Structure 1
């Protein structure tokens, strides 16, 4: 074999040097190829109490683990020899076109995760052509979100308080600010047992203990942002100095019934989604109440541990009410493949919560953009590999949900 030294002309087409990125944030985000990668960055950069509030769930966190396992246990059935040079990820959701089959879920305490908070989420969502949902427990006011993102599609998530007048005052503010959809959350008669928060002494403002200080030392950027921006508060609530669990138990109303849902429906001028449906029977009754969508959700595993897995419940609910209302889904979504699996299984739309917050903690607005970019790429790639070009082409035949657990037959 004859050998020779390569010339510069020989090497030029073989070697391409990447221009160095001078921004540490952009370097971190570019290296993140999955939501799990963003989660690891977020954990390194965020104090434990704030990170665990996002990352954790109720009791033994079984519901969350099962929801994620359900997506991991999907088996695909791809079609071959299809022209997938162009794919369309858009569809009409609650009367308006969205660019992707997922939106940003309502999350509380968001500015505690990272100082840009809800504004980063709302503006990133609008740039991507998807809706952003603001939580009752949000740390940016309804009006400030609307002002920061005047062209966005905003939804408002409502916890019905014991004080009905205060609840409906929020609803009125959301309507006046141009929010077009109300997410009525119905799985919170009391707060779930979020044990990580209890162990971390999660309070507003954060409780400083020796362990908290030690944990914060390697995370100076978070503290600089936290201490040099507007003091953290619930923009829709009065100030609070207790634990998160105490606040939720004070706010949530265990007396809420279907009559309250009908009352809300009468007063809200836009679309209504009921969030927290976990049985077929309740899905039927909610649909009969005249709402526009049911959102299958176990609150990200943060309320009743060992609750039904929404992804497993999805086909039965779609069969019963899918011709009557849109069926949406959240809980456990951590990749674009999860989104596509949910749509193939019958979901009209999905929501990302933790995935969005991991991006926010990893890099603020740019981190949220990266979250959406990762998920968009995964959705498009999965559609191409399945041999479909539109979301409407996805169908149950494309996916099998493998079950590790099944019901024990009655005695």
Structure 2
């Protein structure tokens, strides 16, 4: 096993171990992938201010998210098909998050169901909801998340219409994978992945199969999911879902100050500044570039998290200094999961925590909750002057 010192090391192992269609699913954006690329490259434009001769002892990265303290202000984002990156992937990721003391968020489009994850964990997790046309299904899955003791409902609002991701179409993405000649050739080189998959019965979308009335087999599942994302989703719908849930609600997919204000108006507990990892509207600005204007518009009225582009503890610190209360990581932990299962997720969290702690100290700060923009050097015009 090579020495692993950063997230890119896990990414290389993930690419080597996972079938191409599932690695590409994680490592892709829509259309030209401009936004996908800039989510990470825009972080590179921001620099740190080094401060010296400051007492760096007794440092703390503990911070609250939704009024609960965690080891660091980092949550594992909802990622569809996680259980195809590694057998029982959602269970493994949730267990790693629980042991590390960070939040885990389960996707509607997970391979392991809400009940599967609940049965294998003790700490409450968050549940991410895609709003579907089938209102009965939506109401039922909210009820299932309640019964499982989920501590927050994360409503994704930027996937009313599915963005086109060329790699997924060319690879014939499906769960489980369709056995075409090209897929069989790829799988023939991924023995470790295949053997682990043979050892589990969780190989399809278990939050949907057996729960959506019109889904009886794989063919009906594919047609159901293709038709179900609700293009009519609006703020009234979100308010209805919030009322039905009755607990903490996070709105994911905010990329504009006006939408952030709407989230405040309906009484959301938090928003996630996100462009869906560059997988929806290609040509949109990066999350980190949009963060300051959203903080200015609603900061202090609502908890603000940032998603899309975080690949290191330094990125985490930059987002916090720019005004985020917390961040979500998706690809960073998926690389670890695809590379080494639960151990890989823990490794990813260890890497990010170590980088966050060390960089914070070298910027002259001992407590992550005291981080502000004073530790940064931000280029003039970073947010852009757009007309």
**TM-score, length of structure 1 as denominator length:** 0.89
Secondary structure in 1 aligned to 2:218? coil
For the 8 Å contact 2:64–2:73, the answer to whether it is kept is no
Which of the numbers 284, 293, 298 marks the counterpart of 2:275? 298
Secondary structure in 2 aligned to 1:183? strand
Query: Which deviates the most, 339-348 or 312-321?
Result: 312-321
Deviation at 1:252, TM superposition (A): 0.4
1:201 counterpart = 2:172: yes
Which residue is 2:181 aligned to? 210
| d(CA) in 1 for partners of 2:8, 2:272 | 25
Which residue is 2:203 aligned to? 232
1:37-186 pair list within 5 angstroms: 37-150=9-122, 152-186=123-157
Deviation at 1:105, TM superposition (A): 0.4
1:396–1:248 CA distance, 2 compared to 1 (3 A):
farther
| d(CA) in 2 for partners of 1:209, 1:197 | 15
- Moved segments of 4+, more than 4 Å: 242-248, 403-410
For the 8 Å contact 1:276–1:297, the answer to whether it is kept is yes
Q: CA RMSD in A?
A: 1.8
Deviation at 1:144, TM superposition (A): 1.6
| d(CA) in 2 for partners of 1:405, 1:245 | 42
1:404–1:42 CA distance, 2 compared to 1 (3 A):
farther
Q: How many residues align?
A: 381
| d(CA) in 2 for partners of 1:242, 1:406 | 45
For the 8 Å contact 1:156–1:179, the answer to whether it is kept is yes
1:332 counterpart = 2:305: no
1:261 counterpart = 2:232: no
Could you list the per-position Cα deviations for residues 100-126 of structure 1 after superposition, in whole angstroms to 9, with x for gaps in the alignment? 110100011111111031111101001
Which of the numbers 342, 357, 366 marks the counterpart of 1:389? 366
Secondary structure in 2 aligned to 1:119? helix
1:47–1:316 CA distance, 2 compared to 1 (3 A):
same
Query: Which deviates the most, 96-105 or 212-221?
Result: 212-221
| d(CA) in 1 for partners of 2:355, 2:305 | 20
Larger radius of gyration: 1
| d(CA) in 2 for partners of 1:71, 1:409 | 19
Which residue is 2:325 aligned to? 348
Secondary structure in 1 aligned to 2:374? helix
| d(CA) in 2 for partners of 1:229, 1:365 | 15
Where do 5+ consecutive residues of structure 2 fail to align?
210-214
Query: Which deviates the most, 131-140 or 71-80?
Result: 71-80
Deviation at 1:304, TM superposition (A): 0.9
Deviation at 1:242, TM superposition (A): 5.5
Deviation at 1:67, TM superposition (A): 0.8
Query: Which deviates the most, 392-401 or 113-122?
Result: 392-401
Which of the numbers 33, 39, 56 marks the counterpart of 2:5? 33
For the 8 Å contact 2:289–2:383, the answer to whether it is kept is no
1:153–1:400 CA distance, 2 compared to 1 (3 A):
farther
Deviation at 1:87, TM superposition (A): 1.2
Which residue is 2:212 aligned to? none
Could you list the per-position Cα deviations for residues 210-257 of structure 1 after superposition, in whole angstroms to 9, with x for gaps in the alignment? 222222222210111122321411111025635998664312000011
1:217–1:342 CA distance, 2 compared to 1 (3 A):
same
Deviation at 1:319, TM superposition (A): 1.5
For the 8 Å contact 1:204–1:243, the answer to whether it is kept is no
1:405–1:90 CA distance, 2 compared to 1 (3 A):
closer
For the 8 Å contact 1:273–1:291, the answer to whether it is kept is yes
Where do 5+ consecutive residues of structure 1 fail to align?
1-26
Which residue is 1:23 aligned to? none
Secondary structure in 2 aligned to 1:69? helix
| d(CA) in 2 for partners of 1:409, 1:207 | 45
For the 8 Å contact 1:346–1:396, the answer to whether it is kept is yes
1:370 counterpart = 2:342: no
